[in-house]
Amino acid sequence: MSYLHIYQEAQPQKATFQSEEASIIAEKLAEVGVRFEQWQATQILAKEATETDIINAYSQDIERLKVQGGYQTVDVVALQKGNPNAPAMREKFLFEHTHNEDEVRFFVAGYGLFCLHIADKVYQVFCQQGDLISVPDHTPHWFDMGSDPEFTAIRLFNNTEGWVAQETGSSIAKQFPLLD
C-alpha cells in the first residue's frame, strides 16, 4: 500500500503525519506542488512486456502529461531482483539532489521511496504499482529502491539527456529511514 509520512527535518525518528489513503496523499503533496496520481493500464500487461507494450498501455495518461508538462522524452526503466549492480545503483540515488526539470515516475510494477525535502519538512512517499509521482524541478529529494530492488517505471523528461542530478551537499538523506 502506498503511503505518505511527513517529518520535521530536525526530527527524523518521528513522523508528524501519516496516511495510506491515495486521495489524502495527493492532497497533501499538492499543497507543496508535488503531483501524485494512481493510473490503470488500458490493457493487461504480460510479465515479459516490452517498453513499447508498457508505453502503449498507459498512452492516454502519458500523452496528457506530455501536453501538460511539455515532456519530450518517455522511456521505461526496469530492475529485477538479484541484480548484481543493485547496491551501486541504489547508492546513485541515496543523496539529496535536485534537477533542472521535473522528475516524473510512474510505477508499472514494484515500488520505491521518494523522499522530498521541502522547507523544514521531509515527505516520504512510498510509491508502488499504479502510482505516479511528479517532483517539481529544483526540489531537493532522494530516492531509495531498497537493497534488492524490483521495479518497472515509466519516466518522462523535458530534455533528451535523461536523468541529470545536481548534488545539494546536504547529508540529510542519511538521517531518515530507508526501505530496509
Per DSSP, the residues of 85-120 read: THHHHHHHHSS-EE-SS-EEEEEEEEEEEEEEEETT
The answer to whether the annotation marks 5 as part of a ligand binding site is: no
pTM for the model: 0.93
- What is the pLDDT, as a whole number, of residue 50? 93
- What is the pLDDT, as a whole number, of residue 163? 66
The answer to whether the annotation marks 141 as part of a ligand binding site is: yes
The answer to whether the annotation marks 21 as part of a ligand binding site is: no
- What is the pLDDT, as a whole number, of residue 162? 62
Per DSSP, the residues of 36-80 read: EEE---SSPPPTT--HHHHHHHTHHHHHHHHHHH---EEEEEEE-
Best CATH choice for the domain 3-171 from the list 3.40.190.80, 2.60.120.10, 3.90.480.20, 3.30.830.10:
2.60.120.10
Per-residue pLDDT tens digits of the chain, which is 180 residues long: 999 999 999 999 999 999 999 999 999 999 999 999 998 877 788 888 999 999 999 999 999 999 999 998 899 999 999 999 999 999 989 999 999 899 999 999 999 999 999 999 999 999 999 999 999 999 999 999 999 999 999 999 887 666 677 899 999 999 999 998
- What is the pLDDT, as a whole number, of residue 129? 93
- What is the pLDDT, as a whole number, of residue 180? 84
The answer to whether the annotation marks 138 as part of a ligand binding site is: no
